[in-house]
Amino acid sequence: MKFYIATDHAGYALKAFVKDCVISLGHEIVDLGPDSADRVDYPDYAKKCAKAVVTDEGSFGIVICGTGIGISIAANKIEGIRAALCHDAYTASMARAHNDANILAFGERVVGKGIVESMIDAFCTTEFEGGRHANRVSKIEPKSNFGRFDYID
Ligand code: RB5
């Protein structure tokens, strides 16, 4: 699998560990920043990751902020993104199985490294089940301009 990763300052400290986890599981990961723990705005980095994922078909994303809330809300504003805020291996696995999530989101201030490792493993090893879930997921996609918009820079 190919992943893109982006964080804000409150998710920055966990980023190196997450990259190591993804690589040790045999996957690829591209770091979209930031390159330091200086304060940044999570919508900017959510958008970078979300756009990379929709542009590079079949790729996935990981976004991290303090709680995972802001960065997941922001990523979900980009059409084609299903960012799932997860807290453990179960939610990470269900995010793939039932929601066909293409971005895994979590909060550095919420989860420990053991949980992070298990979430990444669950996310990578679980397939979307399709069937009735595919019908539900299709109902999330906007059918007109009244859906989600690419928010302003
Ligand atoms: C930054 O202090 C914090 O608000 C941010 O990382 C995130 O938790 C927002 O949802």
CATH code of 27's domain: 3.40.1400.10
CB of 108 closer than 6 A to ligand 1? Answer: no
pTM, whole model, 2 decimals? 0.94
> Are the beta carbons of 140 and 82 closer than 8 angstroms?
yes
CB of 110 closer than 6 A to ligand 1? Answer: no
Residue 86 lies in a domain: yes
- Nearest residue (by CA) to ligand 1, atom 4, is 66
* pLDDT tens string 88-119: 999 999 999 999 999 999 999 999 999 999 99
Residue 77 lies in a domain: yes
What span, in angstroms and rounded, lies between the C-alpha atoms of 143 and 71?
24
The continuous run of DSSP H or E covering 135 comes out as: helix 132-138
- Nearest residue (by CA) to ligand 1, atom 9, is 70
* pLDDT tens string 43-74: 999 999 999 999 999 999 999 999 999 999 99
* pLDDT tens string 3-43: 999 999 999 999 999 999 999 999 999 999 999 999 999 99
Q: pLDDT value at position 141? A: 83
Domain that holds residue 107: 2-139
For residue 86, indicate whether it is catalytic.
Answer: no
What's 111's DSSP letter? -
Residue 120 lies in a domain: yes
* pLDDT tens string 133-143: 999 999 988 76
Q: Which of 8, 41, 64, 85 should be mutated for ligand 1, with most atoms under 8 A from CB?
A: 8
Residue 149 lies in a domain: no
Q: pLDDT value at position 44? A: 97
